Amino acid sequence: MRKATVSDRELHALFQTTCDYTPPRGSITLIGAQWGDEGKGKVIDLMTGHADIVARFGGGANAGHTIYVKDKKYVTHILPSGIVRRGVINLVGPGVVIDLGALRTELEIVNACQSQVYLDRSATVVHKIHRWFDAAREAAARDLNLGTTKRGIGPAYEDLASRRTVKLGDLLNADRVRKALTERSYHEEKRAAATAYPDMLDTFPTLDDIIDDLMAYQRDIRDLLDDTRERIALAQIEQKRILFEGAQGVMLDIFQGSQPYTTSSGCTHGAVGATFGVYDSLAVIGVAKAYATRVGLGPFPTELHDETGERMRQLGHEFGSTTGRPRRCGWLDLAALKYAARIGGITHLVITKLDILSAFDTIKVCTGYTFENRPVRDNETLTNRVLSEAVPNYVELPGWNEPIDEVRDVVDLPHQARRLIDLIELETERRVIAIGVGQEREQIAIA
């Protein structure tokens, strides 16, 4: 495991408004350590209080971060969570695929909160063709669908990989947009591919539909275009505090997740290097819920199909912030978390929503899998095949049956709750540095 170059105390300062230690200067990365929706929004929100720059490095409007500030609820999809903090500079990097509709809505938050935003000129624009194919494929696949968010994410990244995208900077000029959409027969080729979905063909966007739609956003983005990689490089020289904000989670990563049930972008620490060229984060903080959820299809070894799962869903408000879909719920899976920590480059963990488990008399935790009548090896890759057939081995811990939402220091947690945290640390070989005990900003216990 890569050693973090900061002390736990310096990291604790990131989650507190007053502390004897100052938060470290340099880059910190925060990523999801499960299947997305780990409660990153709340954790990032605390950390942005100490950041000069917050940068999104991957994904698009498939993400949904919920942030509660006093009685106000903000949901962001495309812009970094620092937009709710006055004065914080927020960057959307070259690896993000931009949904202009979501962007426009979130720019209102930027104005209201007096934060700043810059968008990378080279970022890929999501357009109508992407959303069309995402929806058409999901509908045609019927029960073999992937359960995508239908935000056009997969088709947009396909175009990026095949080097035929509209870049955000192209929006300065309608001719550049038209060129990008017609070069090397782009639109004609997509139109031909669309005939595979005859039922929907009459809604396939024309060139003019796409161009008119995109150009309507020119004014929104015109003054926000930037070279975000240069800005990050300069900020590094000036020893600024930079926070890289991940979307989704390691288990949904395009390479490390269970293909085809993944998203189409990088969700590990590797994606920070691949997009911003930053390889020296002081710490990579993985966020994991005290139980597990997944939205969309794909293997989920500890999923509960019973009343216990339903209770988790209701108590934890486990409904997607992007699509409103009910999330699948299950027990904490330390076999998956251990894998995610290793393959995602995670150095520390933050555990969220521990308070939700207060309602359960017994808490089960998966510490390993049996696959094809043998134990899954310590460093074995958790492919779709392995995860689909893995039988979880559980340990059972007694619940604590008392509220913990007032706890601010881990030593004040009930003994049984501390046992759970100890088990997480033991199995993942990562320190848990903070624990979410409620949805408010201040409801966090420092470990």
Query: Any contact of residue 205 with Mg ion (CB under 5 A)?
Result: no
Q: Single out the residue of 37, 38, 120, 333 in contact with Mg ion (rule: CB under 5 A).
A: 37
Is 156 one of the binding residues for ligand IMP (CB under 6 A)?
no
- Binding span for Mg ion by CB under 5 A among 56-64, 234-242, 336-344, 385-393: 56-64
Q: How far is the CB of 330 from Mg ion (least distance, A)?
A: 17
Residue 30 as a binder of ligand IMP (CB under 6 A): the answer is no
Six-digit token pair at 103?
């962007």
Asked if 147 interacts with ligand IMP (CB under 6 A), we say yes
- Which is closer to ligand IMP, CB of 259 or CB of 381? 259
The reply on whether position 66 binds ligand IMP by CB under 6 A is no
Tell me the residue length of the chain: 447
Cβ 313 to ligand IMP, closest distance in Å? 15
Contact call for residue 159 and ligand IMP (CB under 6 A):
no
Closest by CA to 306, choosing from 337, 331, 333, 332, is 331
Residue number with CB closer to ligand IMP (37 or 427): 37
Residue nearest to ligand IMP (CB): 296
16-19 long-range contacts (CB < 8 A, ≥24 apart) are 16/446, 17/49
Nearer to ligand IMP, 6 or 343 (CB): 343
Task: Give yes or no for residue 268 binding ligand IMP (CB under 6 A).
Answer: no
Using CB under 5 A as the binding rule, whether residue 64 contacts Mg ion is answered as: yes
Nearer to ligand IMP, 39 or 438 (CB): 39
Would you count residue 248 as binding ligand IMP (CB under 6 A)? yes
Rounded-to-integer distance, Cα 313 and Cα 65, Å: 17
Q: Contacting ligand IMP (CB under 6 A), which of 4, 13, 55, 153? A: 153
Lookup result for tokens 């192209």 = 170
Q: Report what 299 binds from Mg ion, ligand IMP, none; CB cut-off 5-8 Å by kind.
A: none
**Straight-line distance from the first to the last Cα atom of the chain, in angstroms, rounded to the nearest whole number:** 21
Nearer to ligand IMP, 36 or 169 (CB): 36
* Shortest distance (Å) from residue 264 CB to ligand IMP: 6
Find the catalytic residue in 50, 65, 77, 348.
65
From the number of C-beta atoms within 10 Å of its C-beta (0-12, 13-18, 19+), residue 117 rates as buried
**Nearest distance from residue 333's CB to ligand IMP, in Å?**
15
Closest CB to ligand IMP among residues 62, 428? 62
Of positions 263, 275, 352, 358, contacts ligand IMP by CB under 6 A: 263
CA 5 remoteness from chain centre: 24
- Does residue 38 touch Mg ion according to CB under 5 A? no
CA distances from 61 to 64, 152, 192, 404 (A): 7, 9, 27, 34
Residue 428 binding ligand IMP, by CB under 6 A: no
Q: Is the Cβ–Cβ distance between 171 and 208 less than 8 Å?
A: no
> What one-character-per-residue DSSP string does 105-163 give?
HHHHHHHHHT-EEEEETTPEEP-HHHHHHHHHHHHHTGGG-----SSSHHHHHHHHHTT
- Give the span between the Cα atoms of 77 and 59, in whole angstroms: 9
Rounded alpha-carbon distances, angstroms, from residue 437 to 171, 372, 376, 440, 441: 44, 38, 32, 9, 10
Contact of 290 with 332, CB cutoff 8 Å: yes
* Binding partner of residue 247 among ligand IMP, Mg ion, none, CB cut-off 5 to 8 Å per kind: ligand IMP
CA distances 379 to 48, 103, 114, 221, 284, Å, are 34, 40, 46, 45, 20
Dist CA 58 CA 265 (whole Å): 6
Write each residue from 275 to 314 as x if it is in contact with ligand IMP (CB under 6 A), else as -, in one continuous string: --------------------xx------------------
**Active site annotation includes 65:** yes
CB nearer to ligand IMP: give 173 or 259.
Answer: 259
Peptide bond into 23 cis (omega under 30): no
Q: Is 246 in the site for Mg ion (CB under 5 A)?
A: no
Partner touching 273 among Mg ion, ligand IMP, none, CB below 5 to 8 Å by kind: none
Q: Beginning with the edge strand found earlier in the chain, give each strand of the sheet holding 348-352 in spatial order.
A: 225-226, 116-120, 89-92, 53-56, 241-245, 26-32, 283-289, 348-352, 431-436, 444-446
CA angle 363, 368, 371 (to 5 degrees): 130
Number of residues near Mg ion (by CB under 5 A): 2
- Report the interface residues with Mg ion, using CB under 5 A: 37, 64
- Report the interface residues with ligand IMP, using CB under 6 A: 36-37, 62-64, 146-149, 151, 153-154, 247-248, 252, 263-264, 295-296
Q: Which residues are catalytic?
A: 37, 65
